[in-house]
Amino acid sequence: MPAKTRVSTGRVLANIGVAARLAWAAAPGWSAALAGFAVLTAALPVAVAWSTRMVVDALGGHGDRAGVLGAALLLAGLSLAGAVLPHLENYVTADFGRRVGITVKLRLYHAVNRMVGLRRLESPAYHDQLQLALQGGLNGPEHGVLCGLRVASGALQIGGFAGSLYLLNPWLVLVVLLGSVPTLLAELAINRRRAALTADITPAMRREMFYAGLLTGLPAAKEVRLFGLGDYLTGRMLTELRSINARSRRLDQRQTVVQSGLMLLSALVAGAVLVWAVRSAQRGEMTVGDVVLTLGAVAGVQGGVASLTGAVGETYQSMLVFDGFRRIEEAPSDLPVPEVVAAPTGGVPVPRTPETGGAVVECPAPVDPAVVLAAATPAIELRDVWFRYDDAHPWVLSGVNLTIPAGESVGLVGLNGAGKSTLVKLLCRFYDPTRGGIYWNGTDIRTLPVEQLRARIAAVFQDFFAYELSAAENIGVGAIAAVDDRSRIAAAARKAGCHETLAALPAGYDTLLTRTFFSNEDRDDPETGVLLSGGQWQRLALARALMRPDCGLLILDEPSSGLDATAEYAVHAKLRQLRVGRTSLLISHRLSTMRDASLIYVLDDGRIVEYGDHDELMARDGRYAELFSLQARGYGPVPV
């Protein structure tokens, strides 16, 4: 999804409706209050101009002398209202913004979570779109509504003052309004450019934030310091920042020139009207009050036009940016929704996908997904699976046929980049195969509800995540419904061999596994958070997976890569017990851990080149035997 997409004027107008509905849903009371403020803001200056005229004329011997006190009191009251109103409005606007912010974030993250696969999240264009959506979503409804109200208020103010001018001399209205047309057009052009600039600089802003994150974050801190990367990264960050600033500066300069010209035009019009009014008064055609009212009305119309054009321009710009929010909300799920295609000849319906174009894959009788997924030990099959990350990338898997028999433990080995982790991602349905299919007890997984499918899988990913949460939560998130179930968490930790470590932490399982989120008071207290070692984290990740003891498929992608020899031995002994009678897939470069797998597949450059149990593969003396012997040789005597 490209970040820069041309938005039609019709769509911009439709966005105003969407933003207004969002604002109303988020804060109906404050939306109504802001509308009220808009009317008052427009009416106040007109009322002030008229009551000033009454006072001036009454003092100058024209008009109603008896009413002078009333007019003066009215003027004082209006001034008071004028002083208080902006503060009230500021408060309401700020709270309105906060309420809208909650609704926007809720809707935005809901839309992102609807992306059940990983493809969109890997796309830089999607991240730019997200960045714009967050910005446009947060500002859009607020700006849209506030600027919309400013447009209404500006129009009311112009109407009020233009009406006043009309009563004095109809030609004045024409002169003043015609003088305002260039302002409106220029403002619209500037705001379109500003919206385009926002989209243009988003990738540079993302890169700038990336470099800033490297410079200030803990994850890269060791390498940044050891390799002395500080200046290098700062330089790259500054390059991005300078390019952002240069583009913003150019637009600011253009805006300054245009706006100065327009102000000059307004001043000329106001000056001409002033001269005309003074001459009229000299000729006795106008009272002093009329002159004051004329000048006030011209300034009022010009101010109203400036405010209206500014607001129209800003609304336009914010609605262009708000479009990013709408696009994220409207984007369909990145994996095909099971829009089921009827099977013509007894095949099970499979969802229409971009890859299959709605083709029907033949497989045994149709079955209820709940029944399929309920099987305690399902058989998993990959049938002629082809996969590449996108059309520009080479094939990662090329016609893989692989079966994990029900209740059996299968091993998968292969060199770096062979496609093992990719295969795991397909099993979890983070992507769909480009061709072929994956079957859970004979049913294509694309026909199964994805959340229910994933609920039946427990996995330790090679790049598992270390949450900056408490130790208990880090394990509990493996089965979120049981995140508070301490006995289950402790049982999983025992199985993974990390219970003693966690129990010995300063606050036991409640210890935060981060040093990032401390309040100022306890920042220096080492007992408020700890950092675990890589191997300890790995055990935690294993415990997280073991929170799903009844899963149908257990996937272990390099579950012991960070463990010391004793720990690795202990963890694999434990895993061996856990895998008995369970459908499981173990991926490891340490081939000794594969010996007890009932079936081992060797993946080479996206193809299965061998399979069998350890003894069969060794007897075959092929790729597996070669890798195994190489590793074994590493433990033998040092060659001389």
Ligand X SMILES: Nc1ncnc2c1ncn2[C@@H]1O[C@H](COP(=O)(O)OP(=O)(O)OP(=O)(O)O)[C@@H](O)[C@H]1O
User: What b-and-e string marks burial along 40-73, b requiring 16 or more CB atoms within 10 Å of the CB?
Assistant: bbbbbbbbbbbbbbbbbbbeeeebeeeebeebbe
- Shortest gap between Cβ of 121 and ligand X (angstroms)? 10
Q: Which are the contacts of 177, defined by CB distance < 8 A and separation ≥ 6?
A: 158, 162, 301, 305
- C-beta closer to ligand X: residue 37 or 431: 431
Interface with ligand X (CB under 6 A), residue from 26, 382, 396, 594:
396
- Shortest gap between Cβ of 394 and ligand X (angstroms)? 8
- Which among 14-22, 259-267, 414-422, 547-555 is the span making contact with ligand X, rule CB under 6 A? 414-422
Which of positions 432-471 make contact with ligand X (CB under 6 A)? 462
Interface with ligand X (CB under 6 A), residue from 99, 143, 327, 420:
420
- Which among 61-69, 192-200, 287-295, 415-423 is the span making contact with ligand X, rule CB under 6 A? 415-423
- Shortest gap between Cβ of 587 and ligand X (angstroms)? 7
* 417 scored as a contact of ligand X (CB under 6 A): yes
- Shortest gap between Cβ of 2 and ligand X (angstroms)? 19
**Residues found in the chain:** 640
- Pairing mode, strands 599-604 and 409-413: parallel
User: Residues 413, 418, 420, 421: is their CA dihedral positive or negative?
Assistant: positive
Q: Which strands, in side-by-side order, build the sheet including 435-440? A: 397-404, 380-387, 435-440, 443-444
Chain mean position to CA 250: 29
* 377 scored as a contact of ligand X (CB under 6 A): no
Are 298 and 269 in contact, with CB atoms under 8 Å apart?
A: yes
- Shortest gap between Cβ of 500 and ligand X (angstroms)? 30
- C-beta closer to ligand X: residue 416 or 519: 416
Q: What would the x/- binding string for ligand X be over residues 69 to 108, using CB under 6 A? A: ----------------------------------------
* 239 scored as a contact of ligand X (CB under 6 A): no
Q: Tokens standing for 75?
A: 């003027």
To the nearest 10°, report the CA torsion of 560, 563, 565, 570: -60
- C-beta closer to ligand X: residue 122 or 613: 122
Q: What does the angle CA 583 – CA 589 – CA 594 come to, to the nearest 5 degrees?
A: 45
Distance CA 24, CA 31 (A): 6
* 391 scored as a contact of ligand X (CB under 6 A): no
**Residue ranges in 217-287 assigned as alpha helix (H):** 221-226, 230-282
- C-beta closer to ligand X: residue 22 or 130: 130
- C-beta closer to ligand X: residue 122 or 596: 122
Q: What would the x/- binding string for ligand X be over residues 552 to 591, using CB under 6 A? A: ----------------------------------------
- Shortest gap between Cβ of 630 and ligand X (angstroms)? 15
Interface with ligand X (CB under 6 A), residue from 302, 315, 422, 447:
422
- Shortest gap between Cβ of 396 and ligand X (angstroms)? 4
- Shortest gap between Cβ of 578 and ligand X (angstroms)? 22
| Closest C-alpha to 142, from 10, 315, 312, 313 | 315
* 421 scored as a contact of ligand X (CB under 6 A): yes
- C-beta closer to ligand X: residue 201 or 542: 542
- Which among 26-34, 372-380, 417-425, 623-631 is the span making contact with ligand X, rule CB under 6 A? 417-425
- Which among 148-156, 303-311, 389-397, 530-538 is the span making contact with ligand X, rule CB under 6 A? 389-397
- C-beta closer to ligand X: residue 62 or 435: 435
Q: Which are the contacts of 240, defined by CB distance < 8 A and separation ≥ 6?
A: 204, 205, 207, 208, 211
Type of residue at 137: G
Distances, alpha carbon 577 to alpha carbons 403, 571, 601, 615, in Å: 21, 10, 21, 21
* 418 scored as a contact of ligand X (CB under 6 A): yes
Q: What would the x/- binding string for ligand X be over residues 325 to 364, using CB under 6 A? A: ----------------------------------------
Q: Which are the contacts of 408, defined by CB distance < 8 A and separation ≥ 6?
A: 583, 584, 598, 599
* 416 scored as a contact of ligand X (CB under 6 A): yes
Distances, alpha carbon 145 to alpha carbons 20, 91, 93, 314, in Å: 6, 16, 10, 11
**H-helix or E-strand spanning residue 572:** helix 565-579
Beta strands (DSSP E) in 539-613 are: 553-557, 584-587, 599-604, 607-612
* 122 scored as a contact of ligand X (CB under 6 A): yes
Interface with ligand X (CB under 6 A), residue from 276, 389, 461, 518:
389
Count, residues near ligand X per rule CB under 6 A:
13
* 596 scored as a contact of ligand X (CB under 6 A): no
- Shortest gap between Cβ of 545 and ligand X (angstroms)? 18
Where on the chain is the footprint of ligand X (CB under 6 A)? 122, 389, 393, 396, 414, 416-422, 462
